[in-house]
Structure 1
Amino acid sequence: MSYSPLQAAAKYFKYYVHAANSKGHGMHSPFVYEFITKVMNDFTKYDDYAKVETLRKELLNDTTELTIEDMGAGSAVTASDKRTVASIAKNAAKPKKFGQLLYRMIKFYQPQTVLELGTSLGVTTSYLALANPSAKIITMEGAPAIINKASDNFKKLDLQNIEIVSGNFDNTLSEVLQNNSKIDFAFIDGNHRQEPTERYFEQLLPHIHNETLLIFDDIHWSKEMETAWKNILSHEAVSCDIDLFYIGIVSFRKEFKEKQSFSVRV
């Protein structure tokens, strides 16, 4: 169960008070300083932004009703299995600020094999694909109706580098990883529960390398997700993490001699 709005606000206030500023001043980690100054603070208005946000605007006005088979923690907005495209776009798609941050991460770090757990309508996927057209974007989604709509959206944007994997992650992730020995970048946004989140992390571990970045969505969404995030960070393979409140970034770079944790204001 997700935190109530009041609980979430209290969590955010605590994060904001203790987080470092977004200028990078006094940051002793070269990796995190570079992330702040070259990625977070890249204020370029890339043309791709307008392409995705035009699509988002269309989706926010789409009253088509879809029947959704939810295989994760469910929606915090409705318990119904019928939802409009507009409702999904409003409540499930990652906000512009974070979609564009992920775009800049892909553009800066240039990963070649990118995995996304949780396609939804494909808004974030489109940002990932546009940021590096030479990359292979593997996006996984369990709900057939959502997949069909996402596929249409990818065609609208003429995205050629996306592979959609249909089905429950519990059944499909192992096969995807068997076929992709190395994962450079993964965005885990498909099941906001502790046990599956930790299990996906464990499944990904044999496929990471020094430059791999794992991004976990909604790490403060619920007590379960906070516990999962804490347990992931305690793993010996994790050398550095960055808490942006709404998302968490995990790095495995061996140049970190000791574990380093950072909270940075977005």
Structure 2
Amino acid sequence: MNDQTISGQAENLRLTADAVPLNEANALCDTIEALRDQLAGILGTNDELVSEAHRIAETAADIVRTLANLRTTIQDTSSHHHGNTGGHRPANTSNPTASTQTEKPYDRLPKPSISKPQPLPAGVTGDPATWPGRIEDNGTTDETRFSSDERSVAERLAQTGPNIVRRVPHGKDDRTADATVNGSLVEFKTLQQKDGQIPTRKTVKKMIRKSQNKGGQSPDVIIDGRKTGLTPEEALNGLKAYLNAPENADKLSRVRVWGKVFDFDWKREG
């Protein structure tokens, strides 16, 4: 087979792989997970039907990961042939999906710190004059001041350390982070426990995904779940589910989740 034929085939395969609807596939995985969680709420987590739905969700996620990995491999092969006339296929013909079956993106990343909630320093009260940090929020409109949920997050940051929290003004349609903390953009998200439904990993994953939609508001996210019964296990599983989804592994730099009885802090760099 001549170089032109090989290059043409690789290009056609790359174009075919690029056409794989990964966003739609991710949405389908989320839908399956939501169905599983609804069934678990009705039938209990040990029900056979719930277990089957869980297996389907995991299989769907594995398929999407494999497609994403295959697309990358084909693109690399295409680049190799375009850049090396007269060349042949690389000697390494190992199965490109082998590693995805045993190792997922999260497995290669640092692990989070999970601890009891950070206590307030001695002498700190509700009076901002006693706080080690401060909030700069002097706006008079919705675009320039914190919402009540955002302010609750900002207050905890200012109360627990020498953090300068500033509101980032933005319009209704802007994709801008809520605040800067010591000069770095941070997105605030707040979990609600509606109708007694305790947030799950699905909820955490959804919150992270919303923070990263359309280019992302910030790779540094704080999720406030202090008013809910969210567990550290569900927080961890939600983060893992997001990071393991195709093309998500490199989007986040830090995720903090605050629960009633725990603080969860994941950083890309240890």
TM over 0.5: no
Q: So what's the TM-score if we normalise by structure 1?
A: 0.30
More helix by share: 2
Bigger CA radius of gyration: 2
Q: So what's the TM-score if we normalise by structure 2?
A: 0.30
